Amino acid sequence: MSESYLVHVAVEAPQHSALSGPLTYRATHPWPAGSVVQVPLGRRVVCGIVWGAAPEAAAEEGAGLALRDVHSGLAGLPPLSDAWRALVQFAAGYYQRGLGEVALAALPPELRKLDDKQLALRLRRAQSMSLVPQGGEPELPPLTPEQQAALDGVDHGGVSLLHGSTGSGKTEVYLRLVARTLAAGRQALVLVPEINLTPQLEERFSARFPGRRIVSLHSGLTPAQRLKHWLAAHLGWADIVLGTRMAVLTPLPRLGLVVVDEEHDPSYKSQEGARYSARDLAVYRGKLEQAAVVLGSATPSLESWYHAQRGRYRRLAMPTRIGGAALPTVRLIDMNHVPREVARTSALSPALLAALGSRLERGEQALVLLNRRGYAPVLHCPDCGWKSGCAHCSAWRVFHRIDRTLRCHHCGACERVPRACPDCGNLDIQPLGRGTERLEEQLAAALPGARIARIDADTTRHKGSLEAQLSSVHAGEVDVLVGTQMLAKGHDFRRVTLVAALNPDAALFSSDFRAGERLFALLMQAAGRAGREAAHSAGSEMLVQTWHPAHPLYQALRAHDYAAFAARTLEEREMAGLPPYAHLALVRAEARTQEAAQAWLLAASEQAERLPEKGGVTLYPPVPSAIARVADVERAQMLVECESRPALQRFLAQWVPGLHALRAEHKGVLRWAVDVDPLAI
């Protein structure tokens, strides 16, 4: 009789199954922890990761149990490391998700389909990946005293917050840190918030590190590319990994440095599945693997700033722009002084049009930001009041004039614009409000002869389209660039001397307590696109059209004073008992009716009251979500608050496992989830 072993395997089980930990299987081979195997789960054979082997005594005790067998495994793939499994274990526990869900989501989907023979072929392809071509020794730019101080100040075993103004040369500090890491024989992981920032980063790293393997990991790769790059990272062949938030869970056997660029960006927080924060996991990973962690931003998140103020992170300041370039002058255009008829018919104030005209005369570029795509947020009928609401969501369908469609940006529903009002038959239905399409049209009419380009999610759908449009901007083929917030992040527009922000006021009075922080970061980052070339910086400007010019946020923006904004906002947060002075979780429920969703949340709240110890945890009453219906599904939420993070974690660990049983009593609930450290409420 062949010898058998018991192994614990993490598999991706459905959330409603309440299987959060690894399952036990029988194996004829002593698979080491971290091995990727194929195991039966229900009627399917699924991919799993061996999480540990049972001791011999336990194997003997399990001899009579009806355990299922491991089918096969990837013997040719080195096991995933103890440190990687510890990171996944932490993420699953902290964010209240199944261990297998987090672990398997970190693997390339293609890996799950391979046998050993197919894996061997993929390994050969990954090993043969081209190195960055050898060239002459790149000439390094001289470091400013601030850059040198930041480089010297990075905490090799801890977390450093690199607070550098836009254009201060943070990327050069990252490059020097990576060089130092590679010289020590270790790997570097560099994270950026969005895919559209990876091409220019790859270009800079490839130019700086000839003879090194550089791979990228993000959702824009094909499945085959993602597998090849992941294998190169896991096997230690790749020296540098560049990626978005998903890359934080990449196995790296020699990790020595993690850089999180634009660490404040909300894109680092996943809004689906495990809803993890890549920035926070990067901090934890650095501690696990004794790697230096650098969080960089001109506008740090208030949580990171708070930690730096209290000594948990080392703060490194770089307030001066490279080459002595001046920060742009911020000018507020008071829309209360613009004639009502002008403000009603155009998004562009006379002062803004005059500023754009003067830039055109000098041959300089301008960037105009409006954080709303489409032609208009809604169509309406002036006779009966009809508006283009979505039949499936609590939202408006946006009017896109180019293809004459009404599109819901939440559920994707799309239909042709009606010829007349569906309610009263009026032929004169009109756009209400403005989007980037309409702004582009108004700019073309107001600035005849100007070369105007629009970059937003609609114009960059096709592969390579964003790179092509950015190249034309850099080549000087565009005079005025129109776009959404995607243009405010990290792009190095050397010829832009004027940035204008239209209609930013809505965030000042939002019910979301983080809205002001996000607006300030967006405007500061946008301002940083202007005057990056020292020769053009003296006259660079940012214009903000606002109805509330006296607001403290705009006054801090005028002074480029992030510290003043942070101090005031943290004081407000402390008075209100909000993060970082308290810790939150949001329980979300989705059902066919709002009543069913809220009933499930009420039952969950009642269950929490029966727990032996709530540890200072407060549960607020259930309420509809900000957008209560999406794709015919009603959504509700319940806020959980506690002053102590460990106490909140202990409470969630007690409470969440019992919530699975509530599904049997509340048949109308389709899905539920816990969002720890939510970004929006």
Per-residue pLDDT tens digits for 227-279: 999 999 999 999 999 999 999 999 999 999 999 999 999 999 998 888 999 99
CATH code (residue 615): 3.30.70.100
Give the mean model confidence (pLDDT) for residues 672-680: 93
Contacts of 505 (CB under 8 A, 6+ apart): 546, 547, 548
Residue 491: pLDDT above 60?
yes
Q: Report the b/e string of 457-491 with b at 16+ CB within 10 A.
A: ebbbeeeeebeebbeebbeeebbbbbbbbbbbbbb
| pLDDT one-digit tens code per residue, 311-353 | 999 999 999 988 878 889 999 999 999 998 888 888 899 999 9
pLDDT of residue 460: 77
Single residue among 573, 599, 617 that ends a domain in this structure: 573
Give the pLDDT score at 18. 67
Radius of gyration of the chain (CA): 27
pLDDT of residue 537: 61
Q: Which of 473, 495, 558, 567 is nearest to 523 (CA)?
A: 558
Return the beta strands (E) in 509-630 as ranges.
541-546, 583-591, 618-619, 623-630
Residue 267 DSSP class: G
Q: Do 469 and 335 belong together in one domain?
A: yes
Where in the sequence is the domain holding 562, given as residue range(s)?
Answer: 325-373+435-573
Q: How confident is the model at residue 462 (pLDDT cuts 50, 70, 90)?
A: confident
| Residues 642, 495 share a domain | no
pLDDT in tens, 166-186: 889 999 999 999 999 999 999
Q: Is 199 in the same domain as 271? A: yes
**Whether the predicted pLDDT of 534 surpasses 60:** no
Question: What's the whole-number average pLDDT of the chain?
Answer: 90
Q: pLDDT tens-digit profile of 540-580?
A: 999 999 999 999 999 999 999 999 999 999 999 999 999 99
What mean pLDDT do residues 585-597 have?
96
Cβ 200 vs Cβ 491: under 8 Å = yes
* Structural domain contains residue 158: yes
Say what the pLDDT of residue 13 is: 80
Residue 397: inside a domain: yes
Residues 43 and 161 in one domain: no
Residue 55 burial by Cβ neighbours in a 10 Å radius (0-12, 13-18, 19+): exposed
Portion of the chain with pLDDT greater than 70, in percent: 95
Determine, yes or no, domain membership for 131. no
Mean pLDDT of 203-226: 93
Residue-level pLDDT at 236: 94
Rounded-to-integer distance, Cα 402 and Cα 87, Å: 47
Q: Which one of 538, 573, 608 terminates a domain?
A: 573
How many domains in the chain? 5
117's tokens = 């023979």
Asked whether residue 162 is assigned to any structural domain, the reply reads yes
Mean pLDDT (whole number) for 417-439: 90
Stated as kind and residue range, the H or E segment containing 191 is: strand 187-191
Read off the pLDDT of each residue in 661-679 and give the average, rounded to a whole number.
90
Domain end among 322, 342, 363: 322
| Binding-site annotation: residue ranges | 381, 384, 390, 393, 408, 411, 421, 424
444 belongs to a structural domain: yes
My answer on whether 149 and 278 are in the same domain is: yes
d(CA 478, CA 578): 44
Residues 154 and 266 in one domain: yes
The answer to whether 297 and 263 are in contact (CB under 8 A) is yes
138 within some domain: no
Q: 553 with 606, same domain? A: no
Give the Cα separation of 79 and 100 in Å (integer): 16
Q: Tell me: do 387 and 336 sit in the same domain.
A: no
**Over the stretch 15-63, which tens digit does the pLDDT of each residue have?**
666 677 899 999 988 899 999 999 999 889 999 999 987 665 454 454 5
Kindly report the number of other CB atoms within 10 A of residue 426's CB atom: 15
Could you tell me if 244 and 95 lie in one domain? no
Residue 139 lies in a domain: no
Indicate if 368 and 515 belong to the same structural domain. yes
Can you state the angle between helices 302-309 and 562-576, rounded to 10 degrees? 90
Q: Is the pLDDT score of 652 beyond 50?
A: yes
Residues 198, 241 within the same domain: yes
The pLDDT of residue 1 is 42
Binding residues for Zn(2+): 381, 384, 390, 393, 408, 411, 421, 424
Domain with residue 96: its CATH number is: 3.40.1440
Q: Is residue 41 part of a domain?
A: yes
169: left (phi over 0), alpha (psi -120 to 50) or beta: left
Output DSSP code: residue 323.
G
- Comparing 306-315, 549-558, 597-606, 612-621, the range with the smallest average pLDDT is 612-621
**Vertex 300 angle, CA 89 and 144, to 5°:** 115
| CATH number of the domain residue 212 falls in | 3.40.50.300
Q: Which pLDDT does position 464 carry in this prediction?
A: 76
Same-domain check for residues 349 and 277: no
Number of Cβ atoms within 10 Å of the Cβ of 229? 26
Greatest extent of the chain over all pairs of C-alpha atoms, in Å:
92
pLDDT at 361 over 80: yes
Enter the pTM of the model: 0.92
User: What is the structure's pLDDT at 681?
Assistant: 81
